[in-house]
Amino acid sequence: MASWRHLLVLVAVLGSAAAVGARLVELQVLDNEFLREQGEARTARVEPIDANRGVIRDRHGEPLAISTPVKTLWANPGELPSDHPAIPRLAEAAELDAAQLRERLASNSEREFLYLRRKVQPALAREVMELEVPGVYSRREYRRYYPAGEVTSHVIGFTNIDEQGQEGMELSFNHWLAGEKGSKRVLRDNRGRTIRDLGPIREAHPGNDLNLSLDLRLQYLAYRELKAAVEAHGARGGTVVMLDVDSGEILAMANQPALNPNDRGQRDPARVRNRAITDLYEPGSTVKPFTAAAALESGEFTPETVINTSPGYRQMGAYTIRDHHDYGRLSLAEIIVRSSNVGISRVASELSGERLQNLFYSVGFGQSTGIGFPGESVGILPASVNLRPVEVAALSYGYGLSVNALQMAQAYMTLANGGIRYPVTLLKNDEAPKGHRVMSQETARQVRAMLARVVEEGTGTRADQGIYRLAGKTGTVHLVGASGYEADQYKALFAGMGPVDDPQVVTVVTVDAPSRTEYYGGEVAAPIFGRIMGDALRLLNVSPSGGASMADESTGTDGGQG
């Protein structure tokens, strides 16, 4: 009997072994592919591969916007219930509120993905991951960083948390700068840790770099002087634009108030907008040189043509045009030097409104600069056929039209370079730009000589810094409020170039609502222009002017407050 029992046991063992073997064959051979796929389905995941956004640089290669690698923490609520005991430790390490974290996990319990913290420093992410909380993961992303901070903020703009451009060049060239994301398959263990990289599904492609025309040295200079002046005069804000005379490249563009693009809390509309392009204003007396240019181009005037401005005012129907003084008989050049509203209006009255409007349009007023910057305001230049004589007179000294600071800089560039209008650009030019002539070289030279006298003996003597011979024009205009012109609020203006004998740079300065005792363009904007131009020309290695004026700090005034 015992031998039979032994035999039965042996048969049973052999049968079991055969069954196990058959099962092993089935698993290892027949069902191998199916089981491998099932295993991978439970442990393999597709992860995104973020692409590095392109670098924005100034004309000398200095970085203005870069993307640095950071970590993003996320959780799978299905693996991390809201009542998990590790949540207090997780919240503390991730710098989150524990109660709010529990609430978020509970309300998203059906999801497989929930952000905990976006784009944190790797050290913080490492501290969180070392807790080994189930269902908590990290992935690499990029965060945009702006080394120059608020100095270049209005030009560069910024991105949102997903690295998409929201303002400035980041928005204008978003498609160029943005990379193409990729993806890859990875294997994870039961704790969610990546244990094997299975390779890419789609390669990531980094974005393209962008080389701007800005010179960071000049940008810092313009920003520093503008900020100091706005604070000193208690002003609402201001703008500086600086152009290369022979290329139309924007070398500096600064605004106040500014924002630090690295701080998302500062991104309110008042700080974000690039006032040099978005804000329009009546240019006042800074337009008078172009009225003079139109007169010279007509062939009916020369710089020595005399106009009688007595008795210091001019009645045109219900309107009165005034000067600060009765200047008597002035030449066309002296009208610009003294900034006589009466004189320039009489010149305009002898021209047709069409001739004046045509020249204004040819230098860029009333049309887009073509810069392609978001939010650009074109401004207003009235049609000549609808202008009454009094409107032609007002247009001659800068009322009845509106411009932005960049348009004004582009217009002054035509005076500086001998009558050529180039397209303005924020991109570094690798080739000589194609411009077109808008006035004769002789007209531009004659007007430039008038503007040099403005700085040496006229309303702009505070722009004279004694090293370089500069040229320019002051302006002072009433600000426009909800109910029309504000009687006691002004915009101080100065537009000019230097050095006179061989202009290299054009600069426009505007200061909004200076609230101290000084508010004229010659008092507020001219000194800013002088300091910026003096330092800028030194940085550009321009030799000092041989005949530079050593004018004192006497105050000039505009003939008609703009």
CB-based contacts of 54, cutoff 8 Å, min separation 6: 176, 177, 178, 179, 206, 207, 208, 209, 210
Q: Where are the alpha helices (DSSP H) in 350-440?
A: 353-362, 389-396, 405-416
User: Sign of the CA dihedral 440, 444, 446, 447?
Assistant: positive
- For 184, the enclosing helix (H) or strand (E) is strand 182-188
CA distance 392 to 411: 19
User: Sign of the CA dihedral 246, 251, 255, 261?
Assistant: positive
Residues with catalytic function: 285
Q: In 3D, which of 440, 412, 416 has the Cα closest to residue 504?
A: 416
Q: In 3D, which of 358, 354, 361, 344 has the Cα closest to residue 403?
A: 361
Q: State how far the alpha carbon of 385 is from the alpha carbons of 104, 109, 292, 389, in Å.
A: 66, 70, 21, 11
Q: State how far the alpha carbon of 456 is from the alpha carbons of 13, 346, 521, in Å.
A: 115, 25, 15
**Three-class secondary structure of residue 222 per DSSP:** helix
**DSSP state for residue 454 in the 8-state scheme:** H
CA distance 450 to 332: 9
CA distance 562 to 560: 5
CA distance 336 to 473: 8
